[in-house]
Amino acid sequence: MGLFSKIKDIATSTLVKTFVEHFISEFGDLNDIIINSEHKSIYLSVNLKGEKESITIEITGYEVVKSENGNFINLRNITASREWINIAFGKYYLDRRIQIPSQYIGIAKFLL
């Protein structure tokens, strides 16, 4: 990975953090996010309500899609450090589009 890619990923991670914090706020708090755009992967560390330890989530194969209906992110492969979360992701989020709110369009364009 080149220097520009590393800088881009750090900047994107910082920008995406706000979106993810908003998205998961009713479930817990985001500790860390690392994006690797070259490998299309996202690493998250979160503190979920009711859990004593941090939970890690890895997303591989994300895709940002722009259409006339809006901007979306498709999540392909998701694994978490808790089995119940893996089951929930498998049932509700794999191959599902999550709409990117208009205030985050700049981030989506950066990821495209």
Residue-range domain boundaries for the chain: 3-111
Q: In what order do the strands lie in the sheet with 77-80?
A: 28-36, 41-48, 55-60, 77-80
Torsion sign over Cα 81, 42, 32, 72 = negative
Mean pLDDT of 51-74: 87
Mean pLDDT of 60-66: 84
Do 32 and 10 touch, CB atoms closer than 8 A? no
What's the whole-model pTM score?
A: 0.78
Strands 63-67 and 77-80, by their bridges, are: unpaired
pLDDT tens-place string over residues 73-108: 888 888 999 999 999 988 887 667 788 777 766 666
**Kind and range of the H or E element at 40?**
none
**pLDDT of 22 over the 90 cut:** no
Confidence (pLDDT) at 73: 82
Confidence (pLDDT) at 6: 78
